[in-house]
Chain A
Amino acid sequence: MSAGLFDKYSTLKGNYESLMAASPRNPFGVVIERPLSATVGIIEGRETLLFGTNNYLGLSQSGLARDAAIHTAETMGVGTTGSRIANGTFGLHQKLEKALADVFQKKHAMVFSTGYQANLGTISALVNKDDILFLDADSHASIYDGARLSGAQVIRFRHNDPADLEKRIARTDKTTGARLIIAEGIYSMTGNIAPLNEFVDVKKRHNVPLMVDEAHSFGVLGDHGRGVAEMQGCEKDIDFIVGTFSKSLGTVGGYCVTDHDEIDLMRLCSRPYMFTASLPPEIIAATLAALEEISNRPELRQKLQDNAARLHQGFKAVGLNTSNFISPVIAVTLEDIPQAIAFWNALLDAGVYVNLSLPPATPDNRPLLRCSVMAAHSAAEIDRAVDTFGSIAKELKLV
């Protein structure tokens, strides 16, 4: 007798049932009934502080972006109903690609319908089964999935470790296929910042192109908000920068920017780019407005940095285990899943929402309470979050 479709999930089912038995609420089923602002939403009928939304600059609630979306929906409708390579390219898509290329000071940009597809579409257009990819071990799932879609051979290097990358690249110096290194700017689970300038040194020594995903760092780091590469002064040596609109820009979609003139060939061989409907015009208009807001309001980045430092220092002061990087993603590492479930539920009961991240989606097999800070948070909101974390940690005898 052949197996049932869901038989393979028996282990997952067991783990899920144990989790549900241990947790008073489903950690994967939180509903924000509606946002009241960037920092407060209604969850379980109560006003709850939002510390897990990736909405770094608060622009999901931008009045300018909202007005641009309304005006565009009124004048152009709400969807394109087609692929970018057929009927799905409006003038606005090209306008946004030009604006992104200008912001990054690159020659070209390509817009995708989600950030996930930006990685799938870029990676699968650049490498194939004859090629080798070098991925940071802690890469986002979209990078691993893009690698799988490409069919390239994948070699992982130790997280944020240029010497380990170099050792693994050197083993392939005689290969005949093309090679590509992929790293991220800020790592989404831990907030760790990549040493991109050191990866650039490695890529130059071995003549291997470098792609960087600045999903969590665009709008956040660098004098103009262009991310970790700008902050570390190595933008010109990054061959492809990929990112998303669904973090600091507050909407949805993704992009790749590059100086390589072959970008029009990439459009023709990137399945995640062409076999899907393009972004609706009102989303493009809102994203253009948010891009302009990021450029016109550098004070948002400064406020975000100040807020990140305040939350980070607060967590350290109450004795919580966090990364030493000060970035808008601040994760509290816990030792085991029951502890993490108890802590996360107590936080939500006390009116603070953060992300509960469980292995194997986390590095080192340990659970995380992942917080993301916003420029829109007030000092009082951050202090309340720190106090709540501190008192729960004491109750659970973790500090």
Chain B
Amino acid sequence: MTDSVADISHLILQKLLENPKVPRDISGDSRIVEDLAFDSLAVMNFVMEIEDTLDVSVPLDKLADIRTINDLAACLHAIKAEQA
């Protein structure tokens, strides 16, 4: 079971690297918009994929504070704990 922030961050990185357009050298500290060149729609669509994997829903307002992959992992971890 995926439960720690580090595990979720690893899962996000794996998912991102499935997309050939994503730079190969990304890490948990990579910024989603600036370093990955995702626009707002791409971010929302990517989060939807992660939601399905983790069986959680991320309200859109939570995305406003997310800059890096680790931020997203921490957010997903917190929501998963709330929904448990």
Which residues of A come within 8 Å of B, CB atoms? 132, 137, 147, 153-156, 158, 168, 171-172, 359-360, 365
Q: Do A168 and B39 contact each other (CB < 8 Å), given the known contacts A137-B44, A156-B48?
A: no
Q: Contact check: which of B39, B55, B60 meets A359 at CB < 8 Å?
A: B39
| A153–B61 touching, CB < 8 Å | yes
The residues of B that contact A365 with a CB separation of less than 8 Å are 41-42
B20 in the interface (beta carbon within 8 A): no
25 contacts between A and B (CB under 8 A): A132-B59, A137-B44, A137-B45, A137-B48, A147-B60, A153-B59, A153-B60, A154-B59, A154-B60, A155-B58, A155-B59, A155-B60, A156-B44, A156-B48, A168-B57, A171-B55, A171-B56, A171-B57, A172-B57, A359-B39, A359-B41, A360-B39, A360-B40, A360-B41, A365-B42
The residues of A that contact B57 with a CB separation of less than 8 Å are 155, 168, 171-172
Q: Which residue among B48, B55, B57, B58 has the maximum number of chain A CB atoms within 10 Å of its CB?
A: B57
| CA gap between A153 and B56 in the complex, in Å | 14
Q: How far is the CB of A63 from chain B (nearest CB, A)?
A: 43
What 8 new A-B contacts, CB under 8 Å, besides A154-B60, A155-B58?
A155-B59, A156-B44, A156-B48, A156-B60, A158-B48, A172-B57, A360-B40, A360-B41
In the A-B complex, the 10 residue pairs with the smallest Cβ-Cβ separation, listed nearest first, are A153-B59, A360-B41, A154-B60, A155-B57, A360-B39, A171-B57, A168-B57, A154-B59, A155-B59, A360-B40
The residues of B that contact A137 with a CB separation of less than 8 Å are 44-45, 48
Q: How far is the CB of B66 from chain A (nearest CB, A)?
A: 15
The residues of A that contact B41 with a CB separation of less than 8 Å are 359-360, 365
| CA gap between A269 and B28 in the complex, in Å | 44
The residues of A that contact B56 with a CB separation of less than 8 Å are 171
Interface positions, chain B 29-84, Cβ under 8 Å from A, are 39-42, 44-45, 48, 55-61, 83
Residues of B within 8 Å of A, CB-based: how many?
Answer: 15
| CA gap between A365 and B44 in the complex, in Å | 12
Which B residue sits closest to A158, measured CB to CB?
Answer: B48
The residues of B that contact A171 with a CB separation of less than 8 Å are 55-57, 83
Q: How far is the CB of B4 from chain A (nearest CB, A)?
A: 21
Q: How far is the CB of A254 from chain B (nearest CB, A)?
A: 23
| CA gap between A147 and B44 in the complex, in Å | 15
The residues of B that contact A158 with a CB separation of less than 8 Å are 48
The residues of A that contact B55 with a CB separation of less than 8 Å are 171
The residues of A that contact B45 with a CB separation of less than 8 Å are 137
Q: Which residue among A156, A171, A359, A365 has the maximum number of chain B CB atoms within 10 Å of its CB?
A: A156
| CA gap between A137 and B56 in the complex, in Å | 16
Q: How far is the CB of B74 from chain A (nearest CB, A)?
A: 18
The residues of A that contact B40 with a CB separation of less than 8 Å are 360
